[in-house]
Homo-oligomer: A and B are copies of this chain.
Amino acid sequence: MRLYDYLPSGNGYKVRLLLSQLGIRFTLVEKDIFRGETRTSEFLAVNPNGRIPVLELDDGRRLAESDAILFYLADGTRFLPDDRFARAEVLQWMFFEQYSHEPYVAVARRIRHMERRPVPAELMDRGHQALRVMAGRLADRRFFVADRYSIADIALYAYTHVADEGGFELGPYPAVRAWLARVAAEPAHVPITRRDFP
């Protein structure tokens, strides 16, 4: 398999983390989003939406969207429940992540940590709203769905564990911090690639 990716990306990290935990070897093709490498005509032929990550199978078929890639890779493994309702709950949390979490928690990190600009207050408010929803879910649960580690946890871990880089203080969310530690303690866990930006 071949993974088109940008190493500091949380969306890319989700896929790298699951591939590690599944023991799947892959070839990394780095595309620097800050140098426009995902907007070239060459890359737009790989993903017309101009985004990493993209997973390319050995037969050439390609899949975009980090959480769709997670679902594909996890299908039939211990990282995705078999039960129909539990699978839908996993998807609920992954759609929550992409719609109500990533556009604030990840975008704040990009603005503050990578572009060194101030983060608008409304964006921080929305990020805290997402963190409160997570804290509520985790108040009496070890993991997001079916009391076990799944791709729902991987999807939400990716940007939450580096939320401090976006200026989010996790002190008020002890249930979230305890869950982050549980995720990091899973076998074959790998860290995100951290980079210093100018």
Does the CB pair A137–B68 fall under 8 Å? no
Bound together, the chains give a CA A48 to CA B132 distance in angstroms of: 9
Q: Which of A17-25, A95-103, A163-171, A176-184 contacts B (4 or more CB under 8 A)?
A: A95-103
Given A48-B137, A136-B48, do A88 and B68 touch, yes or no (CB 8 Å)? yes
Does the CB pair A65–B96 fall under 8 Å? yes
Identical subunits present = 2
Does the CB pair A72–B88 fall under 8 Å? yes
Bound together, the chains give a CA A85 to CA B61 distance in angstroms of: 9
For the complex with contacts A49-B96, A61-B85, A63-B88, 19 further pairs of A-B residues with Cβ separation under 8 Å are: A48-B132, A49-B100, A51-B100, A64-B92, A64-B96, A65-B92, A65-B95, A67-B91, A68-B88, A68-B89, A68-B95, A69-B88, A71-B91, A75-B84, A75-B88, A95-B98, A98-B99, A99-B103, A103-B103
Give the interface size class of chain A. 35 or more
Does the CB pair A85–B65 fall under 8 Å? no
Q: Chain B contacts of A98 at CB under 8 A?
A: 95, 98-99
